Amino acid sequence: MPATTLTNSYDAAFVAEVRRESEQNLALCYQCGNCTAGCPVSFAYDFPVNQIMYLVQTGRKMEALTSHAIWLCASCETCTTRCPNDIDVARVMDVLRHMARRENLVAEHSIHAFWNSFLSSVERYGRVFELGLMASYIGKTGRVLTDADLAPVALRKGKLTFKPHDIHGVAEVRDIFKRYREHRS
């Protein structure tokens, strides 16, 4: 690992942006590690969540946004609940994902693909159409065997249907997506 040159590693714009979007001030973080201590997914992270917070605090944008951790986060809110400085850590994780997505820095493609599939299902039908979602996800990732073992069980139990649960107001939902995209561009 090359040495980090602190005099130019601090990206002030990045720090400000995270702060604005998350409404959290990472200068308050004193690296106690409480967030990581309780994080259930930490074992799968490349950076434990306290280090992610540290990267934000010290303005190390690329490392933060290209991390896998921000995608693996299960949004369980344990970190937020436990932070002694009342930092909404899970929200910061969310915001980092938002930023990484916008900047095309997604490190976990399958998770991102799953979310995209999920949201397109919502956009299309107003509610989630689980089979359609799976099909779309498999199409995006090529992961043919994903949960293939579960489908027969779920079908037998009547938990999956072949028909989407579309709603009358689906147009309204699509408009939400449309206006949201306009708003963000």
Partner 1 sequence: MNIGVFVCHCGSNIAGTVDTVAVAKAALAYPEVVFATDTMYACSEPGQAGIIEAVQKYELDGVVVASCTPRMHEATFRRTVERAGLNRYMFEMANIREHVSWIGKDKDANTNKAAELVHIAVEKLRRNTELTAGEFTINKRVMVIGGGVAGIQAALDCADGGLEVVLVEREPSIGGKMSKLDKTFPTVDCSSCILGPRMVDIAQNPNITLYTLSEVESVDGFVGNFDVKVRRKAAYVDWTLCTGCGECAAKCPSKKTPDRFNEFIGKTTAINIPFPQAIPKKASINAAACLMLTKGKCGACVKACPAGAIQFKQEDEIVTEQVGAVIVATGYDLFDFTQYGEYGGGRYPDVITSMQYERLLSASGPTEGHIKRPSDGKEPKDIVFIQCVGSRDKSIGRPYCSGFCCMYTAKQTILTKDHLPESQSYVFYMDIRSPGKGYDEFIRRAMEEYGARYIRGRVSAIQPKNGRYLIKGVNTLMGDQVEIEADLVVLAVGAEAAKGAPQLAEKLRISYDTYGFYMEGHPKLKPVETNTAGIYLAGSCQGPKDIPSSVAQGGAAASKVLGLFSKDKLASDPQVSSVSLQRCIGCAKCQSVCPFGAIEMTQFRGMTKASVIATVCQGCGNCTSACPQGAIQLSHFTDNQILAEVHALCPY
Partner 2 sequence: MSRRYAYYPGCSGQGTSREYDSSTRAMCQELGFELIDIPDWNCCGSTPAHAVDHLLSASLVARNLAIAEDMDVEGIVTPCPSCLKNLKTSQHRMLRPEFHQEVQRVLGRAVRADLPIKSVLQVLVEDRGIGWIAQQATAPLTGLKVVPYYGCIMNRPPDVMRFDDPENPMALDNLLTAIGAEVLPFALKTDCCGASLGTTRRDVVARLSGRVLDAAAAAGADAIVTACPLCQMNLDMRQAQINKANGSSHRLPVFYYSQLIMLATGQQGERVGLDKLCVSPFSLLESLGPQAGEVRS
55 binds ligand SF4 (CB under 6 A): no
* Interactions with partner 1, residue window 20-79 (CB under 8 A): 25, 27-28, 30-31, 51, 54-55, 58
Judged by CB under 8 A, which stretch of 6-14, 29-37, 59-67, 176-184 contacts partner 2? 176-184
Question: Which is nearer to ligand SF4, 62 or 76 (by Cβ)?
Answer: 76
For residues 91 and 80, the answer to whether their CB atoms sit within 8 Å is: yes
Distance, in Å, from the CA atom of 27 to the CA atom of 21, rounded to the nearest integer, reads 15
163 binds partner 2 (CB under 8 A): no
Question: Which is nearer to partner 1, 55 or 100 (by Cβ)?
Answer: 55
For residues 71 and 35, the answer to whether their CB atoms sit within 8 Å is: no
18 binds ligand SF4 (CB under 6 A): no
17 binds partner 2 (CB under 8 A): no
In the numeric block, which tokens belong to residue 32?
């106690």
User: Contacting ligand SF4 (CB under 6 A), which of 55, 56, 73, 99?
Assistant: 73
86 binds partner 1 (CB under 8 A): no
Residues 6+ apart with CB under 8 A from 125: 132, 164, 165, 166, 167, 170
Q: How is 84-112 classified by DSSP, letter by letter?
A: TT---HHHHHHHHHHHHHHTT--S-HHHH
For residues 65 and 105, the answer to whether their CB atoms sit within 8 Å is: yes
SS (H, E, C) 31-76: CCCHHHHHCCCHHHCCCCHHHHHHHHHCCCHHHHHCCCHHHHCCCC
Residues in contact with partner 1 by the rule CB under 8 A: 1-7, 10, 25, 27-28, 30-31, 51, 54-55, 58
Residues in contact with partner 2 by the rule CB under 8 A: 21, 40-41, 43-44, 72, 74-78, 80-81, 88, 90, 94-95, 97-98, 101, 108, 110-111, 114-116, 118-119, 122, 126-128, 130, 134, 137, 146-147, 149-150, 153-154, 157-161, 165, 167-170, 172-173, 175-177, 179-180, 183-184
